[in-house]
């Protein structure tokens, strides 16, 4: 018997996660294990970020001209998003098809092609291989085999879809049409914000010592904001006493939460904050009240609005500040949050100045954003090694995951877990 005739059987060990199930059907509990388990993290990278989802990559305004590029991250995969000579948007994995080195090392730039420093394999702005040194050898020696075809060795491309100047990418042919993926509530509110061409004003990058999903939980939960963020409550940027809405996408994974400014009154606020220690400081005044001067861009009274799109995009409008936030996982216990601030192309200089002044509200050290990083770090710190316990998510009630006409609710957080569990294969038995 020759070696080739011996049948080879690869043993496939059962995946221990195949028996992992959500503990209840309405997602009012979340097992802490999902924030720390390495195997779950690996499955997230494959099934979520490289699965049938649309990941936010960048704004078109960041790569306006042919050759402009930006390096980003989808899950744990480095990606380049780039404008081709034809003016199209392309996205490709930033890892040389030869031996795996990072090809594009700059965060931004403009270039006709991208040579890898290691062996000078050279790629065009769509990621196709356009040059290979020593392809036919040197002085009759070496070279690639005669059947080497550069067209078969380009950088891995992502599908790209654009909406209102936002660029999304997907690794999967199974991701639905982008508009269908987003759903009507998200589309409606993206339409509201991206109503005309935008102008990028700047960036923040911050690292938070917490799992990426803890940030997504945080951003979907309006009820923490009036309690954790003293500045918000005290100066009325946001309070749970304000009129607002909580809107979900059909699968629950995306959400819009907003509040309408000045829809509460002093007596109601005092009553609501009675007993909360130091969260509402009625006698505080700002030394520079122009910080909160607000010239509305939209005429609906909404002063605070957060759109979240599973798995990696947040868009906010807080008074005059506008930004996208890209969530970049860094292992189980960390994330990078990448903020892109923008205004509109036709903004007058004073409007741009006001937006930049109000940046003090947001970002890593913002008066109303800095506490979020610390709050979720405290969660990550206290759940290390926890295999069985779950969090408790019942503000706003149990049962169906549906829109609410107020902001005193954690229903969007439950929606996130519903979509997460479906994508990961963790649905509770009863829901299957």
Give the residue nearest to Fe ion (CB): 372
Q: Among 21-29, 221-229, 306-314, 400-408, which window interacts with Fe ion (CB under 5 A)?
A: 221-229
Q: Which is nearer to Fe ion, 194 or 223 (CB)?
A: 223
Distance in angstroms (rounded) separating the CA atoms of residues 406 and 319: 19
Residue range at the interface with Fe ion (CB under 5 A); choices 201-209, 223-231, 270-278, 327-335: 223-231
Q: Of 9-17, 45-53, 365-373, 421-429, which part binds Fe ion (CB under 5 A)?
A: 365-373
Please count the residues of this chain forming the interface with Fe ion, following the rule CB under 5 A: 2
221 binds Fe ion (CB under 5 A): no
- Which span sits near Fe ion by CB under 5 A: 102-110, 176-184, 219-227, 269-277? 219-227
Pick between residue 70 and residue 316 the one whose CB is nearest to Fe ion: 316
Q: In the range 286-345, which residues lie near Fe ion by CB under 5 A? A: none
| Min dist. Cβ of residue 218 to Fe ion (A) | 6
Binding of residue 60 to Fe ion (CB under 5 A): no
CB closer to Fe ion, 54 vs 367: 367
In the bound complex, what is the minimum distance in angstroms from residue 203's beta carbon to Fe ion? 20
For residues 72 and 318, which CB has a smaller minimum distance to Fe ion in the complex? 318
The stretch near Fe ion (CB under 5 A) out of 232-240, 273-281, 364-372, 421-429 is 364-372
Measured from the CB of residue 76, what is the shortest distance to Fe ion in angstroms? 25
- List alpha helices for 273-428, DSSP H: 349-358, 370-382, 411-424
Smallest separation (angstroms) from Fe ion to the CB of 159: 33
**In the bound complex, what is the minimum distance in angstroms from residue 221's beta carbon to Fe ion?**
8
How far is 23 from 428, CA to CA, in rounded Å?
6
Is residue 56 within 8 Å of 324, Cβ to Cβ?
Answer: yes
Which lies closer to Fe ion via its Cβ, residue 104 or residue 412?
Answer: 412
Q: Is 372 in the site for Fe ion (CB under 5 A)?
A: yes
Shortest Å distance, C-beta 296 to Fe ion:
22
d(CA 347, CA 328): 30
Q: How far apart are CA 197 and CA 298, in angstroms?
A: 15
CB closer to Fe ion, 93 vs 225: 225
Q: How far is the CB of 368 from Fe ion (least distance, A)?
A: 7
* Closest CB to Fe ion among residues 94, 234: 234
Q: Which is nearer to Fe ion, 158 or 225 (CB)?
A: 225
From residue 91 to residue 110, the character string flagging contacts with Fe ion as x (rule: CB under 5 A) and all else as - is --------------------
HEC assignment per residue over the chain: CCHHHCCCCCCCCCCHHHHCCCCCCCCCEEEHHHHCCHHHHHHHHHHHHCCCCCEEEEEHHHCCCCCEEEEEEECCEEEEEEECCCCCEEEEECCCCCCCCCCCCCCEEECCEEECCCCCCEEECCCCEEECCCCCCECCECCCCCCCCHHHCCCCECEEEEECCEEEEECCCCCCCHHHHHCHHHHHHHHHHCCCCEEEEEEEEEEECCCHHHHHHHHCCHHHHHHHCHHHHHHCCCCCCCCEEEEECCCCCCEEEEEECCCCCHHHHHHHCCCCCCCCCCCCCCCCHHHHCCCCCCCCCEEEEEEEECCCEEEEEECCEEEEEEEEECCCCCEEEEEEEEEECCCCHHHHHHHHHHHHHCCCCCCCCHHHHHHHHHHHHHCCCCCCCEEECCCCCCCCCCCECCCCCCHHHHHHHHHHHHHHCCCCHHHC
Count, in order, helices (H) and strands (E) of the chain. Answer: 10, 19
Provide, rounded to whole angstroms, the least separation between the CB of residue 236 and Fe ion: 16
Nearest residue (CB) to Fe ion, 372 versus 410 = 372
Nearer to Fe ion, 225 or 361 (CB): 225
**Contact region for Fe ion (CB under 5 A) — 170-178, 222-230, 286-294, 394-402?**
222-230
Residue number with CB closer to Fe ion (175 or 237)? 237
Shortest reach from residue 219's CB to Fe ion, in Å: 7
> Quick one: residue 262, left, alpha or beta (phi over 0 = left, psi -120 to 50 = alpha)?
left
Q: How far is the CB of 86 from Fe ion (least distance, A)?
A: 42
Min. distance of Cβ 251 from Fe ion in angstroms? 24
Interface ranges with Fe ion (CB under 5 A) = 225, 372
């Amino acid at each position: 018997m020759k070696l080739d005739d011996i049948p080879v059987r690869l043993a496939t060990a059962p995946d221990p996660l195949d028996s992992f199930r959500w503990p209840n059907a309405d997602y009012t509990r979340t097992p802490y294990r999902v924030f720390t388990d390495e195997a779950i993290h690996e499955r997230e990278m494959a099934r979520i970020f490289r699965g049938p989802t649309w990941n936010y990559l960048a704004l078109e305004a960041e790569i306006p001209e042919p050759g402009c590029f930006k390096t980003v991250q989808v899950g744990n995969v480095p990606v380049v998003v780039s404008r081709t000579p034809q003016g199209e948007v392309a996205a490709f994995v930033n890892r040389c098809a030869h031996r795996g080195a990072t090809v594009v090392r700059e965060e931004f730039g403009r270039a006709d092609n991208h040579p890898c420093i290691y062996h000078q394999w050279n790629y065009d702005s769509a990621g196709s291989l356009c040059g290979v040194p020593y392809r036919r050898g040197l002085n009759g020696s070496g070279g690639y085999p005669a059947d080497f075809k550069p067209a078969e060795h380009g950088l891995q491309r992502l599908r790209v879809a654009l909406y209102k100047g936002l660029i999304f990418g997907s690794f999967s042919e199974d991701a639905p049409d982008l508009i269908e993926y987003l759903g009507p509530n998200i589309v409606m509110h993206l339409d509201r914000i991206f109503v005309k061409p935008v102008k990028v004003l700047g960036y923040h990058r911050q690292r938070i010592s917490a799992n990426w999903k803890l940030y997504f939980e945080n951003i979907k939960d309006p009820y923490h904001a009036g309690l954790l963020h003293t500045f918000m409550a005290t100066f009325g940027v946001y309070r749970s006493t304000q009129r607002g809405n909580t809107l979900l996408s059909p699968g629950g994974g995306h959400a819009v939460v907003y509040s309408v400014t000045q829809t509460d009154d002093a007596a109601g606020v005092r009553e609501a904050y009675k007993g909360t220690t130091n969260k509402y400081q009625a006698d505080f005044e700002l030394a520079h009240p122009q910080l909160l001067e607000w010239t509305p861009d939209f005429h609906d009274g909404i002063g605070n609005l957060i759109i979240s799109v599973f798995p990696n995009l947040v868009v906010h409008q807080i008074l005059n500040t506008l930004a996208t936030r890209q969530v970049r996982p860094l292992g189980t216990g960390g994330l990078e949050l990448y903020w892109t601030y923008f205004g509109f192309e036709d903004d007058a200089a004073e409007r741009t100045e006001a937006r930049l002044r109000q940046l003090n509200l947001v970002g890593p050290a913002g008066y109303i954003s800095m506490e979020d990083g610390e709050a979720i770090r405290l969660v990550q710190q206290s759940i290390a090694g926890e295999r069985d316990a779950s969090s408790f998510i019942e503000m706003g009630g149990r049962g169906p995951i549906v829109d609410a006409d107020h902001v005193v609710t954690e229903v969007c957080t439950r929606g996130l877990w519903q979509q997460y569990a479906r994508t990961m294969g963790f649905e509770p038995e009863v829901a299957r």
